[in-house]
Structure 1
Amino acid sequence: MSAILEIESIRQEFPVTKRMLYLDSAHQTPMATCVRQALSEFLAEGNEMAGPKPVWMRRVERAREGVAALLNASPSEIAFTKNTSEGLNIAANAVPLSNGDTVLMLEGDHPNNAYAWLNLKRKGVQVRFVKVADDEIATAETFEPFIDAKTKVISLSHVTFHAGQRHDIASIGRLCAQKGIYLVVDVMQSVGVLPVDVRKLGVSVLAAGCHKGLLVPQGLGILYVKAGLDELQPAYLAMSSLANPPEDYIARPDDLAPRKDAGRFEFGNYNLPDLHALSSSIDLIRKTGVERIEAHVLELGDRLIAQLERLGVRLVGPRTRANRAHIYVLDLPVAEWLDYFTQNQVRVSPERGGIRISFGLFNTSEDVDQVASLIQQRLSRGAHPSAATQVD
């Protein structure tokens, strides 16, 4: 059992661990008890007090401050969205791009990032895809040969969902700063699991949903927009987006100036229940320590890789610690293995390269040994890994 975290107290926050072997945090994390309690408190307030909106709005700002602290950002650089896809689409429509401008992306990265930029093809914007093998990571050197005078944006995931690569965002950020290129990063798979420092990474815009490492149910996202990028303008406008919203709720056609902070990208009502829960989940994450969560999932990954070597099962993604995080794809045929894991009360995900195992802060070394034992049992009955049975 890992000595890095107070694992027993953490597991008490996640009752699902008593019911199944949950190895699917890259899909969605199970609800923590503190998050459930926060949601229950919100519902009780709405039920018993008809919604104390001033109190709820103060909590929105507390959640904003919590997100900012987690990212080493200013609260004024944080906006709330519905999900990662909305944040990436906000970024794609905010960056000043014109006919012939180019966006660089990684081939095979999350499709919703690609579609946000591909949608701009109708405006003449070109999207170029750069190839990186599943066991490699992207660095500044990956993109530099493809940059020319028309390159305006590089957009990619920090950690990939399909092979678990942890790309070198900091080196790419330095390259973008040198070349005057916007860097837009999807941190859906890394925030809350790995340290994400927007200053060190050098990102222009960062987007994520909150239902994975941030432990909150679906329907809430975060958006970081670097201060000073005033040329990034919202595609949609509402009172909450304005620098001078009309107090009498009568639209002023001559005063449409948006806010200077990231709030210019917010419009309409907030997801108040999830924002209330987000403060509780961030408290849990910060109390545990993101660096310790990172060390914990990497330690579990070390143990899993050793078990895979023993079993002759190939790992699809990177093996080096610095290049991986909490996501591990096993080269096991989905059609043959997914039902087997389900029948044995193991939650995993099918992935393009095989079976994806992804760890959370509540997983243990015993969890790793248990899933390895299940794999060994099936292999001993005549099942086989995919054609490539040798570990790299």
Structure 2
Amino acid sequence: MELALEKTMIQNEPSCWHAVRSRFPGAEEGPYLDLSGRSLLFEDGRTALNAHLDALSVGLVDKGALFEAVESTRALFADLIRCEPDEICFTRNVTDGIAAFGTSIEWKRGDTVVICEALEHPANVYPWFGISRKFGIDVRSVASDRGALSLEKIIDAIDSTTRVVAVSAVSFAPGFTFPVAELGAECRRRGVLLLVDAAQAIGVANIDARQWKADAIVASTQKGLMALYGLGFMFVRQEVAETLKPAYLSRFGVDQEGHEAHLGNPSSDAYAPGARRFDVGNYNYPGIVTVAPAIRMLLELGQEQVESYVFGLAREFANRILDLGLPVFGGRPGSHSSQIVTVGSDLGSEHDSTGDHDMLSLYEHLSANRVRLSIRRNLLRFSFHIYNNESDIDTAVAFVAQWIERHGSDARALTRT
């Protein structure tokens, strides 16, 4: 079922976003502010998944139709990030994409990869250390700067040995945006490959692979794409992909016509064009049919409008939390802001815990009142998407204010941090 949205509608009109929210039944169960953990499932995606499962249950799956769905979804994702379908392949998740890209490079001992280990999700850390163990390369980690990744420090870390720079477009904690396009221009100038982890940006931020000058972009579907675990996408720039040799070769990774099980000449068949050479499998058909309706909706809404609306909600929430006297990491919203708002003063190292008893008390109070959020690295993490609205902000802020009132001196101690 398609959303009845006029393409000429002013997308910031409340009626548009009300129509969107109505397609997420979970949005009425209390403020769901945990997109950065996982999204609510889009109702049309669930409908498509149910139809697929129904066909499986009675033995009426049409394999040809599934292949058509694969190509349709590939093209949808390509449109979402403004690239060509041949530059898109399917992966299991972000880690899988990074590992597939990294292991396809012809490394020389002493080559380096530049990352910020302190801010990256483990999905963008472990693959590079795995490649280091296998190929003898060095992982050069740049220090964070008060929870942010400094463009200048990243650029300063690049030298003649650097083959790849890997960054996140939006950090999972504290949720700051990064000027990818500026880094991309510098990497392109120096002949260094740029890989971007878009897990926290895809489906929310307005992404243009060409403008970013990225060589690879990896993403998964359970967050901003409002679908399932176990499916991801990888963009590889055409000119770069043609130089890469995947670690795994599949029937779908070679350039030949005919049945999916047709065996050509495995010793000499040419790689499939562009990123398609990384396709392995059979595909994750349940994940593919589930995510397609969500991507269609995002394209219909327009990524510029989506970013404006969702980032706007996050800015309003951050300002209202600050007005209550609680610390928002990074201060007032600015150029660093995204759909993620983190509350607290100190960025820790533990992934999903906090040693701050006041923060834990506030988290428990919100959770008990059906406000969904996460704890990440000592911070309370609130994250927004297209199904959120002003009423979610009002409700969450009211419960925060209630906690402050009930906890007296403890709350005052927190507001002074």
Task: Name the TM-score, length of structure 1 as normaliser.
Answer: 0.93
2:299 aligned with 1:274: no
2:174 aligned with 1:163: yes
The answer for the alignment partner of 2:397 in structure 1 is: 372
The answer for the alignment partner of 2:361 in structure 1 is: 336
The answer for the alignment partner of 1:389 in structure 2 is: 415
Residue 331 of structure 1 deviates from its aligned partner by 1.0
Map residues 313-352 of structure 1 onto 2, 5 A cutoff: 313-317=326-330, 319-331=332-344, 333=356, 334-352=359-377
For structure 1, the 5+ residue unaligned runs are none
Map residues 49-68 of structure 1 onto 2, 5 A cutoff: 50-68=60-78
What is the CA–CA distance in structure 1 between the aligned matches of 2:29 and 2:246, rounded to whole Å? 45
CA contact (8 A) 2:246 2:278 kept: yes
CA contact (8 A) 1:348 1:355 kept: yes
Map residues 84-163 of structure 1 onto 2, 5 A cutoff: 84-108=94-118, 109-122=120-133, 123-139=135-151, 141-163=152-174
Residue 85 of structure 1 deviates from its aligned partner by 1.0
Pick which of 93-102 and 74-83 moved more: 93-102
Pick which of 359-368 and 330-339 moved more: 330-339
What is the CA–CA distance in structure 2 between the aligned matches of 1:77 and 1:267, rounded to whole Å? 15
Residue 344 of structure 1 deviates from its aligned partner by 0.6
What is the CA–CA distance in structure 2 between the aligned matches of 1:121 and 1:103, rounded to whole Å? 9
CA contact (8 A) 1:4 1:296 kept: no
What is the CA–CA distance in structure 2 between the aligned matches of 1:138 and 1:44, rounded to whole Å? 50
Residue 124 of structure 1 deviates from its aligned partner by 1.4
2:406 aligned with 1:354: no
Q: Could you list the per-position Cα deviations for residues 269-292 of structure 1 after superposition, in whole angstroms to 9, with x for gaps in the alignment?
A: 101122112221111111222211
Q: Could you list the per-position Cα deviations for residues 200-222 of structure 1 after superposition, in whole angstroms to 9, with x for gaps in the alignment?
A: 00000110001111111111100
What is the CA–CA distance in structure 2 between the aligned matches of 1:4 and 1:101, rounded to whole Å? 52
What is the CA–CA distance in structure 1 between the aligned matches of 2:400 and 2:105, rounded to whole Å? 47
2:271 aligned with 1:258: yes
2:192 aligned with 1:181: yes
Match of 2:218, SS state, is: strand
Judged with a 3 Å threshold, the aligned counterparts in structure 2 of structure 1 residues 4 and 125 are, in CA distance, closer, same or farther, namely farther
Root mean square deviation, CA, Å: 2.1
Q: Could you list the per-position Cα deviations for residues 108-165 of structure 1 after superposition, in whole angstroms to 9, with x for gaps in the alignment?
A: 21111111101122221101111223453432x2322112110111001100101111
CA contact (8 A) 2:116 2:149 kept: no
Amino acid aligned to 2:198: V
Map residues 38-49 of structure 1 onto 2, 5 A cutoff: 38-48=48-58
What is the CA–CA distance in structure 2 between the aligned matches of 1:90 and 1:4, rounded to whole Å? 42
The answer for the alignment partner of 2:353 in structure 1 is: none
Task: Name the TM-score, length of structure 2 as normaliser.
Answer: 0.88
| Residues paired across the two proteins, number | 389
